[in-house]
Chain A
Amino acid sequence: MHALALLAACVTVVGAIMVITRRVAVHAVLYLVVTLLALATVLVMLGASFAAMLEVIIYAGAIMVLFVFVIMMLNLGQPDSAREKEWLHPRAWLGPGVLATIACAELLYCLNPLSGPAPAPAPITAHDVGLGLFGRYVLMVELVSYLLLAGLISAFHIGRNRVGGR
């Protein structure tokens, strides 16, 4: 196993373990972002750069923003002054910072075509994925659109009850 692959796998697993052991929800979200970025690195090493881009944009971008917004709305945990003190403490950001630095440095190292490892033979591009997605699996795309619509309607319904006041 390649050393970089081993490093990415270790960052992924350590980040996942950190996610489920944190007490503060925002710290867990930070570790989850690190885990997803390291997993995107793993996907790049598997020759699936399109999937890695989707992982970064949708998972680490959109879904994590959703988590952060909800945690901001919930406002759980300690009172404000103690919480801000804890945010400024190095203990709060040192772990995610180190892991994110490792993941970022590895990503940059792999992006360099001269010093990086040899790419996987004939990686699957977005062209192939698009042909498969809208060719053989177009019915599943329709089903996923129904799923997204159902999720949208149910989220709207639950939120509407809350705003309306019962």
Chain B
Amino acid sequence: MPAFSFNDTLLLATVLFSVGLAGVLVRRDLVFMLMSLDIMLNAAALVFVGAGARWHDATGQVMFVLILALAAVETAVGLAIIVCLHARGRPTLDADTGNLLRG
């Protein structure tokens, strides 16, 4: 019997996703919001891998690889936006101050 049953995996993924969602909702700093998004993506990937282990299918890990690529792209673009906002002379990284699409 494996150390994790599928129910335990789902429970852990749910808790992780909730923590990440709380981070996105509570924190206003853009760097912390990106990190919370990474936590949420990890929780989703954990569900895929757990399901792949439960039904012994390699598709779960294929989806894990694709989610990894998605997370890399999301982090790169988000951090580029943060650096761009900071270079424009914005004193804080508060997400609420960036609500206008001025170039």
Contact = CB atoms under 8 A, between A and B. Distances in A.
Given A39-B42, A129-B58, A32 B35 contact: yes
Interface residues of B, number: 60
> What 5 A-B pairs have minimum CB-CB distances, sorted nearest first?
A20-B23, A151-B73, A120-B2, A128-B58, A2-B3
Interface stretch (A78-86, A93-101, A142-150): A142-150
27 contacts: A1-B3, A1-B4, A1-B5, A4-B3, A5-B3, A9-B8, A13-B12, A13-B15, A20-B32, A20-B35, A20-B36, A29-B35, A45-B2, A48-B61, A51-B45, A51-B49, A58-B68, A71-B31, A74-B83, A121-B2, A124-B56, A132-B62, A133-B62, A151-B74, A158-B77, A158-B84, A162-B87
Contact of A144 (B19, B50, B69, B93): B69
Nearest to A141: B66
B80 A47 contact: no
A42 B32 contact: no
Contacts of B83: 70, 73-74, 158-159, 162
A47 B61 CA distance: 11
A32 B36 CA distance: 9
A5 B26 contact: no
A124 B19 contact: no
Contacts of B50: 46
Contacts of A17: 19
B4 A28 contact: no
A77 B36 CA distance: 20
Nearest to A145: B69
A25 to B, nearest CB: 5
Interface in A45-68: 45-48, 50-51, 54-55, 58-59, 62-63, 66-67
Contacts of A46: 2-4, 9, 49-50, 53
